[in-house]
Amino acid sequence: MDLDALTARLCAFADAMDASETPIETGIPGFTLVRSRQPTPIEPTLYSPLLCVVLQGRKETMLGAEPVEFGAGESLVVSMDLPTSSRITEASEGRPYVGLALEIDRGLVRDLQAEIDEARLPAITAGVVASGVADPGLLEAMGRLFDLVDRPRERGVLLPLLRREIHFRMVLAGHAAMLRRLAWQDSHASRVARAIAHIRREFPRTSSVAELARVAGMGASSFHEHFKAITRTTPLQFQKDLRLLEARQRLQSGRPPVATVAYDVGYQSPAQFSREYARKFGRPPSTDRGARRAGSGPAGAR
């Protein structure tokens, strides 16, 4: 795979789109391009299940206090919804950071699991956010997926096939071990994922550890232990981070009153909301009203 040639095509696409912010929508659902001509500050964001391949530059994501770094020729696999922080660490005007991101279809991963001989794969323990060298076939398939951006006639036939191929190549990677565990219905990872899905649905309401443990089908102490081991945070902090990230997205997408947003995401006191917002993002919520930022919100995980 000629990474330089693909990088040049992606930069030309970004220029044609006159894109001053990232991520850049490609027109293929769930498939985005990131191009940044300079390093970016560390920024809280919400990851969704995601595959990212880097063609040029370097990026860092924090899993709790642990940095996960990835650069050119490498891929990042995010196995579940996760509030975290990330930044581009290597980029310049002459050599921008360039990456492609594809949302992961966990249903497709489960379907493919039956076709994978787990015993033949390396016994590697990987976190919910993990990086590693990208298989050349995966990079080549992501390039072919980008080829479909301006080929709508071919897209209808080839897109489902390419998505399946990319998912298959992805789950074979050692750093996709957590993603494979999520496909096992009774694994600790899949049980924690059920609790996270519950939190996402009910985010304005605080769910107790006991309630989340029942959703996961685990004892409270065991659930708390496995939740923190996988996400590097507690269930309570996870819910707080999720609310604040949702609040920021709502504020940046329009100009709603700060108090309205505070109540909508589950706060009883706008003053407490403003304090916690400023503590997390380094600025009061009023400064973010209508101020869509590059890399903010769920798409910022790219």
Q: Given pLDDT bands bounded at 50, 70 and 90, which one contains residue 300?
A: very low
Does the structure show a pLDDT above 60 at 48?
A: yes
Instruction: Indicate whether 54 and 153 sit together in one domain.
Output: yes
Give how many domains the chain has, as a whole number. 2
Q: What is the pLDDT of residue 254?
A: 83
Are 139 and 256 in the same domain?
A: no
CA-nearest of 30, 22, 92, 27 to 56 is 92
CATH of the domain at 53: 2.60.120
Given a cut of 60, whether residue 293 has pLDDT beyond it is no
Predicted confidence at residue 165, as pLDDT, reads 96
Last residue of a domain, one of 182, 199, 228: 182
Do 223 and 150 share a structural domain? Answer: no
Instruction: Tell me the three state secondary structure of residue 108.
Output: helix
| pLDDT score, position 182 | 80
- The answer to whether residues 47 and 147 belong to one domain is yes
pLDDT band, residue 144 (cuts 50/70/90): very high
Predicted confidence at residue 297, as pLDDT, reads: 41
Indicate the pTM of the whole model.
Answer: 0.87
Residue 14: CB atoms within 10 Å: 20
193 with 177, same domain? no
Which secondary structure element, helix H or strand E, spans residue 4, and what is its range?
A: helix 3-16
Assess whether 196 and 176 both reside in one domain. no
| CATH code of the domain in which 237 resides | 1.10.10.60
Do 68 and 193 share a domain, yes or no? no
pLDDT band at 178 (very low <50, low <70, confident <90, very high): confident
Residues 169, 255 within the same domain? no
- At residue 125, the pLDDT reads 66
Mean pLDDT of 172-199: 86
Q: Which residue segment(s) compose the domain that 177 sits in? A: 3-182
Least confident of 10-14, 23-27, 110-114, 198-202: 110-114
Same domain, 198 and 278: yes
Indicate whether 15 and 134 sit together in one domain.
Answer: yes
The DSSP annotation for 76-114 comes to EEE-S-EEEEEEEEE--SSS-EEEEEEE--HHHHHHHHT
Two tokens, residue 94: 């002459």
86 and 39 both lie in a single domain: yes
**Whether 30 and 162 share a structural domain:** yes
Query: pLDDT band for position 289 (50/70/90)?
Result: confident
Question: How confident is the model at residue 21, as a pLDDT?
Answer: 63
Across residues 187-191, what is the average pLDDT? Answer: 89
* Confidence tier at 120 by pLDDT (50, 70, 90): low
Tell me, what's the pLDDT at 180? 82
The CA-CA-CA angle for residues 129, 40, 193, to 5°, reads 20
For residue 56, how many other CB atoms are within 10 A of its CB? 22
Residue 273's alpha-carbon distances to 42, 199, 252, 269, in angstroms, are: 22, 19, 16, 6
Instruction: Tell me what pLDDT residue 294 has.
Output: 43
Q: Which of 182, 204, 225 is the last residue of a domain?
A: 182
Which of 182, 199, 223 terminates a domain? The answer is: 182
Query: CB–CB of 136/173 below 8 Å?
Result: no
Give mean pLDDT, residues 169-175.
87
Q: Which amino acid is at 41?
A: P
